[in-house]
Structure 1
Amino acid sequence: MASSSSSFASNSQYSPRWKYDVFLSFRGEDTCKTFTSHLYQGLKNKGILTFQDDKRLEHGDSISEELLKAIKESQVALVVFSKNYATSRWCLNELVKIMECYKDENEKTVIPVFYDVDPSHVRYQSESYAEAFAKHELQFKDDVEGMQKVKRWRTALCEAADLKGHDIRQGVESENFQLIVNQVSSKLCKTSVSYLRDVVGINIHLEEVKSQLKLEINDVRIVGIWGMGGIGKTTIARAIFDTLSYQFEAACFIEDIKENRCGMHSLQNILLSELLREKDNYVNNKEDGKHMIACRLPFKKVLVVLDDIDHRDHLDYLARNPSWFGDGSRIIATTRD
């Protein structure tokens, strides 16, 4: 068990800056029913709030105010480049706005994804991109303002293609999905705890708990954070959860367990819903819940935080046996008892 008995003070308060975690930019006709839909579902399954305009009509140049606002309010922009991406003036204008925000805001990240297209074709506007731009330039040949717009499109494509991204023409598509989702999740986890930088002494506590978790060992471990009320047990557990959850297949943080008045089975239903990513009331009593956890989770690598437990039943019925969870799983429990 890892114990904590030192208090720490904070001089700052955390207020979320971003409305969305991810803005997903793509050429609808190319990928919306294939790659992009699978990528969106993968992000959603990881608990990543993603803006996807699945009702987009890519005709003309104008982008709605809603889309412009969503781009600005998203921490990460995932841009899926496909062969026909450059034929869409809508996509190109969207990309210009994304790159403007990227340059203006230090914490915004742009990740290019090259789907069935060579990154060099995007960077230098060659092959299918050259064909698309020949048509754009023909359309705007007598329009000075239009040619300036074409120039901005070229610049945005070059800048985006120069960023570190994913060329997914090779390999298994499902594995490529997971690599992208993991990168985004890792990025979000690292920034989500930036509000703790002014919390005095937090790093010492985080490192102590991490050392007890021993993530490099592929077994199942239960680690406790114990101490009197008000010393920051929940803050430490939340920081650990936010920092490490991307390394697990699924994660669940159950807060204020001792305040639960709906029965043990309600906590079991929360645990199962979060880890199986299926919103459902699985069980009506704690014995069935215990059996369900043992049957459904032993092949999943999960991170679970049981916050503020005060009775042995909380462990017995939520995480009694390491065999209930897959190899590499970690359970963290905070308690005053």
Structure 2
Amino acid sequence: MAHVRAAQGTSSDSNTRLGYLYDVFLSFRGKDTHRTFTDHLYTALKNVGFFTFRDDDKLKRGEYIKPGLQKAIRQSQPSVVVFSKDYASSRWCLDELVMILKRKRTTSDHVVLPVFHGVEPSHVGKQTRSIGNAFSRHEKTQSPNKVKGWRKALAEVADLAGIVFSNEADG
């Protein structure tokens, strides 16, 4: 995992004893929030000492990184998923969300915190507006089973208690 950056904070002793490498797994759509909101969130987590996984912006997207991301998700206590306007346009983000929710279903202590940045939870859950537009495109190029799994994952995560930022400001 040479292409992975993690916060320089110190992982808590309790997480290490529990077998976790990361205090937080941070999932987001890079084009939307990487240089703004997600950078602020990552820096805040790092500043309070949370050892945080996020993929490097030079990391090439593709199936060959899937095992590494699955391992990072398994080695993280909670996952924070930042939903943004174009989140659902990324097949990779949707696949990552499915991996995160699979872990949540199979591991009782894995918490998933959704952060809705510039989108409403109902848009995510019901796949309307920009999320719905992305799915219209996916339905033309992806298998029906894959699209169905993504839709189910978005509906599931939208029902979780999360944080809503309707302000379009960077911070």
Give the structure-2-normalised TM-score.
0.84
CA deviation vs aligned residue, 1:270-322 (integer Å, no higher than 9, x gap): xxxxxxxxxxxxxxxxxxxxxxxxxxxxxxxxxxxxxxxxxxxxxxxxxxxxx
Please state how far the C-alpha of 1:58 moved relative to its aligned partner.
6.6
Looking at structure 1, the residues matched to 101 and 30 of structure 2 have their Cα atoms a distance apart, in angstroms, of 20
Gap runs ≥5 in structure 2 = 1-15
Give the structure-1-normalised TM-score.
0.44
SS of match in other structure, 1:131: helix
Among 149, 165, 170, the residue aligned to 2:146: 149
Please state how far the C-alpha of 1:55 moved relative to its aligned partner.
2.5
SS of match in other structure, 2:166: coil
* Conserved? CA contact 2:118–2:168, under 8 Å: no
Looking at structure 2, the residues matched to 171 and 127 of structure 1 have their Cα atoms a distance apart, in angstroms, of 16
Looking at structure 2, the residues matched to 88 and 58 of structure 1 have their Cα atoms a distance apart, in angstroms, of 13
Counterparts of 1:1-337 in structure 2 under 5 Å? 15-55=17-57, 57=59, 59=61, 63-140=65-142, 146-170=143-167
One-letter code of the match for 1:39? L
* Conserved? CA contact 2:24–2:52, under 8 Å: yes
* Conserved? CA contact 1:63–1:93, under 8 Å: no
* Conserved? CA contact 1:75–1:108, under 8 Å: yes
Larger radius of gyration: 1
Paired-residue identity, %: 49
Please state how far the C-alpha of 1:65 moved relative to its aligned partner.
1.4
* Conserved? CA contact 1:28–1:56, under 8 Å: no
- When residues 50 and 137 of structure 1 are mapped into structure 2, their CA distance, relative to the original with a 3 A threshold, is same
* Conserved? CA contact 2:30–2:57, under 8 Å: no
* Conserved? CA contact 1:80–1:112, under 8 Å: yes
Please state how far the C-alpha of 1:168 moved relative to its aligned partner.
1.0
Gap runs ≥5 in structure 1 = 1-13, 141-145, 175-337
Please state how far the C-alpha of 1:172 moved relative to its aligned partner.
8.0
- When residues 28 and 58 of structure 1 are mapped into structure 2, their CA distance, relative to the original with a 3 A threshold, is farther
Looking at structure 2, the residues matched to 66 and 155 of structure 1 have their Cα atoms a distance apart, in angstroms, of 24
* Conserved? CA contact 2:36–2:170, under 8 Å: no
Alignment root-mean-square deviation, CA: 2.0
Please state how far the C-alpha of 1:159 moved relative to its aligned partner.
0.6
Looking at structure 1, the residues matched to 72 and 109 of structure 2 have their Cα atoms a distance apart, in angstroms, of 15
The count of aligned residue pairs is 156
One-letter code of the match for 1:152? G
- When residues 133 and 120 of structure 1 are mapped into structure 2, their CA distance, relative to the original with a 3 A threshold, is same
Looking at structure 2, the residues matched to 77 and 118 of structure 1 have their Cα atoms a distance apart, in angstroms, of 19
SS of match in other structure, 2:78: strand
Please state how far the C-alpha of 1:62 moved relative to its aligned partner.
5.8
